[in-house]
Every structure is written in structure tokens, then in C-alpha cells.
Chains A and B, each alone.
Chain A
Amino acid sequence: MNELLIKLSECIEFGKINMASPYPPQMKGQEGADEITRRALEEGVPPQDILSNGLMPGMERIGVKFRENKVFVPQVLMSAKAMSTAMLHLKPHFLSGAAKQKGTFIIGTVLGDLHDIGKNLVGMMVEGNGYKVIDLGTDVGSEKFIESVRQNPEAVVGLSALLTTTMVNMEKITREIKEAMPGTLVTIGGAPVNNDFCSKIGADNYSPDPQGVVEYLNSKIS
């Protein structure tokens, strides 16, 4: 495989944004995701290859390490930053159709809940694994989710909540999404949520970590 893409996947895995970034210390002074993605495009590497063989393997490795508690939120955020930097170069190719994302994921923190760290982490991981992500923000009610599903009928919906008081809103939102758009898949996550809760409220999947969401989407979409 292209040497550049192997390097790019390492930049994503270890959160190397660009040459100027001091993080991670062991990659100081080296090219980052920014420079390598640009160079790969200049050298004619197809954008689809950059996504599939550069960004995605790197995101997958950091996602697995996060799940295994080998890294924590800061490392994942740095990886996500590196990934977003690379994505800026790829965006025009998605728009032109030269590269295709695997599917669409709609995510939001549910009504009454303003916490966004977990929601953002999942959104970034899913995007880095080749999906188009529509982030509806925090404090999102059924109507906004439904409107977004109407515009993207194939999309899977992700609901996030941090609080024991707002997790209960997931039940109503899940039910109303499924009433309005039957067949829509809903995956849930957040500190107080678990599998038992997921089945009680009629959601389709619960993931305790972002990589689980990616794997769920891969099993349903690709």
C-alpha cells in the first residue's frame, strides 16, 4: 500500500495534526495529517483511497485503544483534530462525488441535556470512519431529529445523554422517530445508559464507546 497512506494513518492514530504541532512528542518536527493529505492528493492518490486506507485505519486503531482503556479522551480528541484537518482537503471531493462516504449518521444530545463532549467524540469517530455526520447539537427534541431523518431517510440516528434525568427523554424521542419514519435505526449512548435501558425504550443499539457505534453502523450500512 501507498507509503503516504500508512504515514497518514499513523498521524491519525497518534493525533499528529500538522508539522507545527508539538503533539505527540515522539512525532515532533514530522509532517502531520495536514501536509500528508495535501501531498497525497497532489501525487494523484484517489481521495477514496485516502479516506479508506489512510484516515479510517487510523481512526479504527485509536477507537479500539480507547475502548480498551489504553488511551483516554484527550488522545482521541487529538486524533479527531488530525482527522478533521485531513477532511478539509477531502471535502471538495465528497461534494463532487469523486469520493463517497459510506452513509449518513444523525447525532444529537437529547432534550434538556446540554452536555456535548461524548456526543462530539462519537460524531468525530464516525466521521473519521467514513460516514457523513449531521450534528444537531444539544437539547434536541423529536421534531428536529424527525425533520433531519426526512431529509436523509437512510440515515441512522444516534442519541446521547449524560444525565439520569435526561436519559428518560430518549424513550419518547426514539418512539416518535420510529412512528414518523418507520424502519429508522436508533443507537443510544451516554454515562447512565446501558443495554437493559436500550431494550426497554425500544432503541436498536447501545454502545458504551464510540468504536461500538462505528461497528454498529458498519454492520447495518456497509
Chain B
Amino acid sequence: MTVDVQALRVDHEVAFERGRPRFWRVLRRNPAFWIGAVGVIVIIGLAIFAPLVAPYDPDHQFRREGLNSHGDPVGPNAMFALGTDHLGRDYLSRLLFGARTSLTVGIGANLLATMIGVTVGAVAAFAGTPRIVLRRRGGKATRIAIPVESILMRITDAVLSFPALLLAIALVAVLGPSLPLVIIVIASVLWTGIARIVYGRVVVIRETEFILAARAVGVHEARILARHVMPHLLSIIVVYATLGIASTVLFEATLSFLGVGVPPPAASWGGMIFEHIGYYKSDPRVVILPGIAIMATILSFNLLGDALADAFDPHSWR
């Protein structure tokens, strides 16, 4: 029996078109996707395997070999590939461990912000203004309308008009810097963006026939939200969560640069720039290297997020 190769190929193409309509086709042709994806994987890999990759303990101070006779950091040499910092610590190791800090805050804060944002946006759009029926003993029912939609969206608007950076600085400065606090503070000012986007999408979805059909056959509201509405939000959540990591990493770097980020001795790229401003003129390396690390991370997540947005959106003009 001979195999009809041509028919197999056609079958494969049909299956491919059906299974993953145009998403993959658009995505894999986009060079931005490949650059972004490889960048993201490399950075996450380096962060996870930092203890294996890093040549030294990032907190160990080489007071003899790592500092010159004036007590200043030394440049790249055979022992320290990228030189040392102002305390004689290996710069390469600190940069690698800095990836951990950046991504922990970036992913953690963003996860939290996405959860808050999606919940607020979806509930606000889906709940609308529910009427709660209160039954008195006499049997007469009173209805109370609770404007869930306007309350939640007004709160979102209010948080949106807070000066996010100033407020975050103030919060961290007052409560004392720590990793969990930095994550919570960033999440509590950045959830509004995704809340608005999800709200906008759900407002459209709630008017569609399949929601009406689900209601008609008596599906519970919470189940409609979870099983019928949520799947339609997956694409925008993925896109904005990816782009959100980029902005969160920048936010963390900015806080650390201003001296109110993740507290030392933890290595943080923004903090490394903050610590070395005084050395900048004599040794620009100490400021330039962490900056490149921040930029590469943000750029990778931005490229990946943009490429995903293009692939998800059939009407994309980009």
C-alpha cells in the first residue's frame, strides 16, 4: 500500500488551520515574538539557575581582591568577569541574582494586580446593579438596588488619579522597605489598567446571545461568569499580564533607584544604580551594566506582549 503524501499534507494543514486558527500562523512569522520569547526564557532561566551560573556568592565581599588601593571597585579582570561593586562583591553574580529580585517582584506584583484587576473589572461589568430582595416577616418584599458596577468602577477611577509613584514611595518609606511590601504596593497601584480593559470587554460579552442562552437554561450567574465569560478574557489577560511584567519591572527598578525598593543586601538592578551613582564618573560600568539588564528584561516582555496582542487581535493594524 502506498501512502498518499499529498493527502496527508493537506489533512495536516486542514487540522492545523482548524485547531489553531491563525494565532500560531501570525505569531511564528513575527520576528518580534522570537526575540521577545528567547529573551524572556533566557532571563527567567538565569534567574532560576542563578546559584549555579553565578561564579561567586553575590553577598560575599572580596575586601582584598575586589577593591583597589583606594577602596574603589575594580574593573573586569580574570577573577571578576564584570568587575566588582563598591563593597568588593562580584558584579556578575549580583547582576544574575538581581534578575531574581526583578522577576520575583515583576511576576508577583503583576500576578496580584491581574487577579485584583480581572476580578474587579469582570464583577463590575457582569453584576451591573443587582436588586437584592429583602423579605420582611409580614410577607411584603422590598427591593434594594446595589450599584456594584458604578461603585467598583468609580473606585478604579479614583485609584487611577492617585500619583502612583509618589504614593508608592510614600507607602514604602512610611512602612519600611521589604520585598513583600514592594510587591503589594506596586500591585495596589497598577491593577486599575487591567480592571478597565477587562470591564470594557465584559460589558460587550454580557450582551451576547450565548450568555442569554446560558441564563435561559438556568445556569447560575457565578458559573456563567467563570465558565462562559472568562474563556473570552484569556487572550487580553495573557497580553496585559505580559506587558504588565515589563511595567512592573520598571516600577521596581525605579523604586530601588530612589532607595525605597527591595532592601539591601538583596541585589536589585535599580538599587545597584542607586548605590553606585558616586562612582559613575570614574567607572561608568557600575551604572551602565544594571541599566542594560533592566532594559533587556523590559524590552523582551514588551516585544513578547506586543507580538501576542497582534496574534490574538484579527483587526490589528500593527
Q: Do A and B come from one complex?
A: no
Q: Which positions in A face B, CB cutoff 8 Å?
A: none
Q: Which positions in B face A, CB cutoff 8 Å?
A: none
